[in-house]
Chain A
Amino acid sequence: MSFLQSLNISGSGLTAQRFRMDVISENIANIDSTRTESGGPYRRKMVVLSSTGDFKNLLVKNLTDHEVEGGVEVSEIVEDQSDFKLVYDPEHPDADENGYVNMPNVDSLKETVDMMEAYRAYQANITALNTTKQMAVKALEIGR
């Protein structure tokens, strides 16, 4: 238990949402990238968030003697396995023999919606954090 643990929990939420924002920005920036280090076109990345909670708590406590405090964390970044979009463009340097190019499976509309969702979650976390702070300040006034 650390000082005002609920602040840590809100903080973990903020970090997770900002990280999600980073990934969304990367997806949007690479919406037209047909070449990556691993070969083919850019695959859309997704963030998997998991709550740090009971079972993992026990495990981590036994291994590292460091208590996991609750909140959320980014457990992994996975790549969206849905099919690439096929676009007919024979002039493109990466076109195959039929003239089709594999474009990244990033849908800018979906990314925008995700972005708004991440922003709202970020705002909500900040509101929770401010409320906790106000509660602590108010408790200071007991008896004064």
Chain B
Amino acid sequence: MNLSNNINLNLLNKSLDGLWLKQQVTMDNIANYSTPEYKSKFVDFESQLKEKIENITLNKHIKRTKLNEDIEKSDIIIGENDNLSSRLDGNNVDLEKENLDLAKTQLQYMYTITEMNSYFSKLKSAISEGKK
């Protein structure tokens, strides 16, 4: 019996991994704002997760363990933005976008942690049968 064999838990876990990485990449971009020829990087894990889940939910008979495995194996991609830079030194970091990403990632992280807390507290309450 595996208490952590839960789709939601794995999804939230993977999401936290991706968000943490996104935060680090964003800070990297901001730090390199003045570096010549630096191309800003981005992190993409949402589309990978979405692909894996949409593939599975089309075939409803696939077991939960397979879905969990797929979620755990889904990639987190780090790529480079190759859009044209509007600066003379070839640097294409957009400071507004990076700051915005910082705020959004932080909020998404907090919400994901709250959901995870709620999952664990429900589990605890079920185990202790509602008694303190």
Which A residues are closer than 8 A to B by beta carbons?
3-4, 7-8, 10-11, 14-15, 18, 22, 129, 133, 136-137, 140
Indicate if B7 sits at the interface (CB-CB under 8 A). Answer: no
Residue of B with least CB distance to A141:
B114
Contact of A11 with B107 at beta-carbon distance under 8 Å, contacts A22-B86, A140-B114 already known = no
In the bound complex, what is the Cα–Cα distance between A72 and B44 (angstroms)? 25
Residue of B with least CB distance to A133:
B103
Asked if residues B94 and A129 are in contact (CB atoms below 8 Å), the reply is no
Point out the residues of chain A lying under 8 angstroms from B108, CB to CB.
Answer: 3
Main secondary structure of the interface of B (DSSP, over half): helix
Contact of A129 among B97, B103, B111 (CB under 8 A): B103
Contact of A15 with B94 at beta-carbon distance under 8 Å, contacts A140-B110, A140-B114 already known = yes
Asked if residues A15 and B96 are in contact (CB atoms below 8 Å), the reply is yes
Point out the residues of chain B lying under 8 angstroms from A7, CB to CB.
Answer: 100, 103-104
Contact of A137 with B94 at beta-carbon distance under 8 Å, contacts A7-B100, A11-B100 already known = no
* Closest chain A CB from B85 CB (angstroms): 13
Task: Give the number of residues in B that approach A within 8 Å (Cβ atoms).
Answer: 12
Asked if residues A136 and B96 are in contact (CB atoms below 8 Å), the reply is no
Point out the residues of chain B lying under 8 angstroms from A137, CB to CB.
Answer: 107, 110
Point out the residues of chain A lying under 8 angstroms from B100, CB to CB.
Answer: 7-8, 10-11, 14, 129
Count, A-B residue pairs, CB within 8 A: 30
* Closest chain B CB from A9 CB (angstroms): 11
| Contact digits for B65-86, partner A, Cβ 8 Å, 1 yes 0 no | 0000000000000000000001
| Contact digits for B98-123, partner A, Cβ 8 Å, 1 yes 0 no | 00100110011011001000000000
* Closest chain B CB from A141 CB (angstroms): 10
Asked if residues A4 and B86 are in contact (CB atoms below 8 Å), the reply is no
Residue of B with least CB distance to A15:
B96
In the bound complex, what is the Cα–Cα distance between A18 and B95 (angstroms)? 10
* Closest chain A CB from B96 CB (angstroms): 4
Top-7 shortest CB links A-B = A11-B100, A14-B96, A136-B107, A15-B96, A3-B108, A133-B103, A7-B104
Point out the residues of chain B lying under 8 angstroms from A14, CB to CB.
Answer: 96, 100
* Closest chain A CB from B89 CB (angstroms): 15
Residue of A with least CB distance to B114:
A140
Asked if residues B107 and A4 are in contact (CB atoms below 8 Å), the reply is yes
In the bound complex, what is the Cα–Cα distance between A118 and B17 (angstroms)? 38
| Contact digits for B45-69, partner A, Cβ 8 Å, 1 yes 0 no | 0000000000000000000000000
Interchain residue pairs with CB less than 8 A apart (12): A3-B104, A3-B107, A4-B107, A7-B100, A7-B104, A11-B96, A14-B100, A15-B96, A15-B97, A22-B86, A136-B107, A140-B111
